[in-house]
Chain A
Amino acid sequence: MWDYSETVKEHFYNPRNAGALPDANAIGEVGSISCGDALRLMLKVDPGNETITDASFQTFGCGSAIASSSALTEIIKGKTLDQALEVSNQDIADFLGGLPPEKMHCSVMGREALQSAVANYRGEVWSDDHEEGALICKCFAVDAVMIEETIRANNLCSVEQVTNYTKAGGGCSSCHEGIEEILAKVLAERGESFTAAPPPEKKVPGKLTTLERIRKIEQVIEKARPNLQRDHGDIELVDVDGKTIYVSMKGACSGCQMEAVTLGGVQAQMIEALGEIVKVIPVKATAKLAPNSLPA
Chain B
Amino acid sequence: MSIPNLTPIYLDNNATTRCAPEAVTAMLPYFTEQFGNPSSMHSFGAKVGHAVKAARTSLQKLLGAEFDSEIIYTAGGTEADNTAILSALKANPERKEIITTTVEHHAVLHLCDQLEKEGYTIHKLKVDGKGRLDLNEYAKLLSDKVALVSVMWANNETGTFFPVVKMAEMANAAGVLFHTDAVQAVGKIPLKLKDTAIDMLSLSGHKLHGPKGIGALYLRRGARFRPLLRGGGQERGRRAGTENVPAIIGMGVAAQLALEHMEMENTYVRALRDKLQAGILAAVPHAFVTGNPDDRLPNTLNVAFEYVEGEAILMLLNKQGIAASSGSACTSGSLEPSHVMRAMGIPYTAAHGTIRFSLSHENTEAEMDRVIAAVPSIIAQLRKLSPYWGENGPVTDPEKAFAPTYA
Task: Give A residues with C-beta under 8 Å from B.
Answer: 1, 9, 12-13, 15, 18-19, 29-40, 57-66, 102-103, 105, 108-109, 112, 116, 126-128, 130-135, 138
Residues of B contacting A138 in the complex (Cβ-Cβ under 8 angstroms): 333
Residues of B contacting A58 in the complex (Cβ-Cβ under 8 angstroms): 385-387
Apart from A33-B352, A130-B407: 18 A-B pairs, beta carbons within 8 A: A15-B385, A19-B384, A30-B404, A30-B406, A31-B405, A33-B348, A33-B349, A33-B406, A35-B336, A40-B404, A58-B386, A60-B309, A61-B312, A62-B310, A62-B328, A133-B335, A134-B334, A135-B334
Of residues 349 to 401 in B, which have CB atoms within 8 Å of A's CB atoms? Answer: 349, 352, 384-388
A35, B402: Cα distance in complex, Å: 16
A31, B330: Cα distance in complex, Å: 14
Given A18-B384, A33-B349, A34-B348, decide whether A65 and B309 contact each other with a Cβ distance below 8 A: yes
- Residue of A33, A37, A40, A134 contacting most chain B CB atoms (<10 Å): A33
B329 interface residue, CB < 8 Å from A?
yes
A135, B407: Cα distance in complex, Å: 15
B311 interface residue, CB < 8 Å from A?
yes
Given A36-B329, A39-B387, A65-B309, decide whether A132 and B405 contact each other with a Cβ distance below 8 A: no
Interchain CB contact under 8 A, A63 and B312: yes
B319, B348, B402, B404: which contacts A13 (Cβ < 8 A)? B319
Residues of A contacting B329 in the complex (Cβ-Cβ under 8 angstroms): 34-36
Interchain CB contact under 8 A, B319 and A61: no
Interchain CB contact under 8 A, B385 and A66: yes
Interchain CB contact under 8 A, A135 and B319: no
A130, B405: Cα distance in complex, Å: 11
Q: How many pairs of A and B residues are in contact by the CB < 8 Å rule? A: 120
Give the interface size class of chain B.
20 to 34
B337 interface residue, CB < 8 Å from A?
yes
- Residue of A36, A103, A116 contacting most chain B CB atoms (<10 Å): A36
Given A12-B315, A31-B406, A133-B335, decide whether A36 and B328 contact each other with a Cβ distance below 8 A: yes
Report the nearest B residue to A2, measured CB to CB. Answer: B311
B242 interface residue, CB < 8 Å from A?
no
B3 interface residue, CB < 8 Å from A?
no
A12, A35, A103, A116: which contacts B405 (Cβ < 8 A)? A116
Given A32-B406, A65-B309, decide whether A59 and B335 contact each other with a Cβ distance below 8 A: no
A30, B312: Cα distance in complex, Å: 19
A163, B152: Cα distance in complex, Å: 40
Task: Give B residues with C-beta under 8 Å from A.
Answer: 307-312, 315-316, 318-319, 328-331, 333-337, 348-349, 352, 384-388, 402-407
A37, B335: Cα distance in complex, Å: 10
The list of the 7 closest CB pairs from A to B, nearest first, reads: A62-B330, A62-B311, A58-B387, A31-B404, A29-B404, A102-B333, A35-B335
Interchain CB contact under 8 A, A31 and B407: yes
Residues of A contacting B316 in the complex (Cβ-Cβ under 8 angstroms): 13
Given A19-B384, A36-B329, A38-B387, decide whether A66 and B407 contact each other with a Cβ distance below 8 A: no
Residues of A contacting B384 in the complex (Cβ-Cβ under 8 angstroms): 18-19
A36, B350: Cα distance in complex, Å: 10
Distance of B384 from chain A, by nearest CB (Å): 7
Interchain CB contact under 8 A, A60 and B387: yes
A63, B313: Cα distance in complex, Å: 9
Interchain CB contact under 8 A, B407 and A30: yes
Residues of A contacting B315 in the complex (Cβ-Cβ under 8 angstroms): 9, 12, 63
Distance of B6 from chain A, by nearest CB (Å): 15
Residues of B contacting A66 in the complex (Cβ-Cβ under 8 angstroms): 312, 385
A40, B406: Cα distance in complex, Å: 12
A216, B337: Cα distance in complex, Å: 47
List 13 contacting pairs A-B, 8 Å CB cutoff, sorted by A.
Answer: A30-B405, A34-B337, A36-B311, A36-B329, A36-B352, A58-B386, A60-B309, A60-B387, A64-B330, A105-B407, A126-B405, A128-B407, A134-B334
Interchain CB contact under 8 A, B403 and A29: yes
- Residue of A18, A38, A39 contacting most chain B CB atoms (<10 Å): A38
A58, B312: Cα distance in complex, Å: 14
Residues of B contacting A102 in the complex (Cβ-Cβ under 8 angstroms): 333
Distance of B165 from chain A, by nearest CB (Å): 37
Residues of A contacting B334 in the complex (Cβ-Cβ under 8 angstroms): 134-135
Report the nearest B residue to A135, measured CB to CB. Answer: B333
Given A13-B319, A127-B405, A133-B335, decide whether A36 and B387 contact each other with a Cβ distance below 8 A: no
A39, B307: Cα distance in complex, Å: 12
Interchain CB contact under 8 A, A62 and B312: yes
